[in-house]
Amino acid sequence: MSVADSTTADIGLPEEKVAELAIDKNDNVEKESDDDEDGEEEEGAGEGEKTQKKKRKNKKKNKKKKKTGLGAAGQTSPPSIPVSQLFPNNSYSVGQICDYVDDNKYRTTSEEMRARDRLSEQKLVDLRRAAEVHREVRQYARSVIRPGMDLTTIAEMIENGTRTLVEERGFESGIGFPTGLSINHCAAHYTPNAGDFVEIKEDDVLKVDFGVHVNGHIIDSAFTMAWNDRYKPLLDAVKDATNTGIREAGIDVRLGDIGAAIQEVMESYEIELDGKVLPIRPIRNLCGHNIGQYLIHSGKSVPIVANRDQTRMEEGELFAIETFGTTGSGYVQEEGVCSHYAKTSDGQPRLPSAKKLLHSITKNFGTLPFCRRYLDRIGEKQYYLGLRHLVDQDIVTAYPPLVDIKGSYTAQAEHTFILRPTVKEVLSRGDDY
């Protein structure tokens, strides 16, 4: 990836109606031609005569036009066309399909399981739409993010692109949670607050974690970028570990067993930095999670190290498998200015300013996570005292940045999948990862 210039591309809402970028419904024409025999093989009457070849004539048939949208190939750069226009009639791409094995192998062909699968069709449509938005936004972001760009520019690029492609409409569709842009020893939960113009450097390792929701069904996926090839083993480790977790996951699988498999793969990697060979460790107090409607963390945690958790995955559950690798201690703690928050209870604050702010949070975000930039965007001013009060009253939970020891480097890889009755579908899978 080129690092020559600093790019500050902005994916904003188009000023003209997207309908003007009309889809040609005559694209993707499916051509059919049948060969009909019009003649029979004639055998020679005498010796030495050659057998004539069979004659065929193509019978003309009406061309069958398959009316489909352009799909992701019809997207602009920067992306500006809502995916609902590129995939008409909810024809969104199906994620990576993984058949069940062993005791669950019967599910793939069971008529009973197929009937259950059909009951959740609308949820699948919502999730696939959100996944398509994630793929198209991240594809562009990965092509332009480079050293010299500041974090606020990157966050707004990703978030404005998400709002446009998902056609943001409050609780119907929008951003799933604030864009995480965590650098080096900071592993998670960092997004810039107003006035934060920290720039990416050539030797940085950047984690990009963002979410998209449709009707509260959230796609949560993350990737890591580095511009120095020496970090490749670290990036490879988390990709391999995450794919291992996805492969091991399934209905009735114990969460602790998945953690053991992830740990084994992660710890098989090492990295050489400044002449020293360092082990790559999983960050043991970070984990994946199941996802509920409008709830990014819905109760179950998927460890990335071995433990004795006997909790099992269940049919119909939506999970995000995310793994974190580090050259540091393998343990993170909270440090730095907080930016991530979420409403986690329905308590009643005593402070008038907190009451007003809580009303605004409930109206605009509900239980979806938000950040201080989002409060700025909806017009809230001088809200910090009220926000602090809501946190102190345990009505809103603060999620400060999570960091390993200074001087270490961390990486992250994450995908969202659903345990359908018939198959496991990795919804956020793309050509990139």
Q: What is the pLDDT of residue 331?
A: 98
DSSP 3-state of 88: helix
**Of the listed 126, 156, 167, 209, which one is catalytic?**
209
Q: What is the pLDDT of residue 71?
A: 75
- Give per-residue burial for 173-184: e unless 16+ CB within 10 Å, then b: bbbbbbbbbbbb
The H or E element containing residue 235 is helix 232-248
For residue 251 the two structure tokens come to 């209905």
For residue 221 the two structure tokens come to 């996926």
- What percent of the chain lies above the pLDDT cut of 90? 83
**Angstrom distances, CA of residue 32 to CA of 25, 37, 61:** 18, 16, 8
pLDDT digits (tens, 9 = 90+) for 324-347: 999 999 999 999 999 999 999 999
Place of tokens 């694209």: 27
CA atoms of 176 and 7, how far apart (whole Å):
25
CB atoms within 10 A of CB 109: 10
DSSP 3-state of 256: helix
pLDDT digits (tens, 9 = 90+) for 238-272: 999 999 999 999 999 999 999 999 999 999 999 99
Q: What is the pLDDT of residue 48?
A: 41
**Angstrom distances, CA of residue 21 to CA of 77, 91, 299, 358:** 13, 19, 43, 40
Q: What is the pLDDT of residue 73?
A: 86
CB atoms within 10 A of CB 325: 33
CA atoms of 19 and 23, how far apart (whole Å):
8
User: DSSP string covering 19-73, please?
Assistant: GGS---TTSS-B---EEEE-S-PPPPSSTTPPPPPPPEEEEP---B------GGG
**Of the listed 322, 380, 404, 425, which one is catalytic?**
322
Amino acid at position 416, single letter: T
User: DSSP string covering 331-381, please?
Assistant: --EE-S---EEEE------SSHHHHHHHHHHHHHTTTS-EEHHHHHHTT--
Specify the pTM.
Answer: 0.84
Active-site residue 414, yes or no?
Answer: yes
Q: What is the pLDDT of residue 285?
A: 98
**Angstrom distances, CA of residue 221 to CA of 36, 53, 212, 310, 411:** 52, 60, 9, 26, 13
Active-site residue 297, yes or no?
Answer: yes
Note the helical H segments in 89-199.
Answer: 111-118, 121-144, 151-165
Count the alpha carbons within 13 Å of 244 in the hemisphere toward its beta carbon: 22
Cα angle 218, 222, 226 (rounded to 5 degrees) comes to 165
**Of the listed 126, 167, 380, 414, which one is catalytic?**
414
**Of the listed 185, 189, 289, 415, which one is catalytic?**
289
**Of the listed 220, 240, 404, 425, which one is catalytic?**
220
Q: What is the pLDDT of residue 210?
A: 98
CA torsion sign for 162, 164, 165, 171 is: positive
Q: What is the pLDDT of residue 69?
A: 58
Q: Which of 207, 89, 221, 202 is nearest to 149 (CA)?
A: 202
Residue stretches of the chain with pLDDT short of 50? 1-68
Find all residues with CB under 8 Å of 277, minimum gap 6, and list them.
270, 271
Active-site residue 204, yes or no?
Answer: no
Active-site residue 322, yes or no?
Answer: yes
CA atoms of 381 and 430, how far apart (whole Å):
40
**Of the listed 27, 150, 297, 315, which one is catalytic?**
297
Q: What is the pLDDT of residue 65?
A: 36
DSSP 3-state of 295: strand
